[in-house]
Amino acid sequence: MALRTVVLEGDEILNKRAREVTEVNDRVREILDDMIETMRAYDGCGLAGPQVGILRRLFVVEYEDQVYELINPVIEEMSGENESEEGCLSLPGLCGTVKRPTHVVMSGLDRWGKPVTYEANDFLAKAFCHEYDHLDGILYRSKAKNIHALPEGDEEEEAGEKEE
Ligand SMILES: [Zn+2]
């Protein structure tokens, strides 16, 4: 496993549509491992391929001690609506209010190429949708109402995870 450099806003790779993963092989598994390590190193709760310079359709999310990995995700269902704050490792030090579905079902492949379906609610639905957007070249800035700087010493909220 190795840390990868997180691509920051301004790099055009973040505005491009990522391509499908054509073969789920050891290289893909290594990328997923690196993405998880990088996400944790930056105290994030999600990371998408383009954010580590890989223009492929895959992302990882970690929430409540569970890691979710999705390759070539497809949105099967989406419902509900909620506004809440979120951040992004590619826009360090910022957060903003974004409207997201409260319920989403996404299918895709796991790291062994097997079909997998996840049902996500509330925070997890938000995280899945945020990461999915990255695969279409969409940053939350384009959906957020009031992007603002995180208060000093509040960096752990960058990923939108709130402890209180
Ligand atoms: Zn992001």
pLDDT for 51-87, tens place per residue?
999 999 999 999 999 999 999 999 999 999 999 999 9
**CA 159 to centroid of ligand 1, rounded, Å:** 8
Considering the chain, what percentage of its residues have pLDDT values greater than 90? 90
Does a structural domain hold residue 2? no
Q: How confident is the model at residue 112 (pLDDT cuts 50, 70, 90)?
A: very high
* Residue 159 confidence (pLDDT) above 90: no
Does a structural domain hold residue 83? yes
pLDDT for 93-108, tens place per residue?
999 999 999 999 999 9
Provide the residue range defining the domain that includes 34: 12-159
* Residue 114 confidence (pLDDT) above 70: yes
What kind and span of H or E run contains 117?
strand 115-121
Q: What is the mean pLDDT of residues 127-138?
A: 98
CA distance 151 to 74: 35
Does a structural domain hold residue 18? yes
- How many domains does the chain fold into? 1
User: What letters, b where the CB count within 10 A reaches 16 and e where it falls short, cover 93-104?
Assistant: ebbbebebbbbb
**CA 141 to centroid of ligand 1, rounded, Å:** 10
Whole-number pLDDT of residue 153: 63
| Residue 110, domain CATH | 3.90.45.10
Nearest to 35 by CA among 59, 70, 14: 59
**CA 79 to centroid of ligand 1, rounded, Å:** 21
Does a structural domain hold residue 3? no
Whole-number pLDDT of residue 162: 47
List the catalytic residues. 131
Structure tokens at 58: 């895959």
Does a structural domain hold residue 106? yes
Residue 47 CB contacts under 8 Å (≥ 6 apart), including other chains:
6, 35, 36, 38, 39, 59, 60, 89, 131
Ion ligand 1, residues whose Cβ is below 5 A away: 88
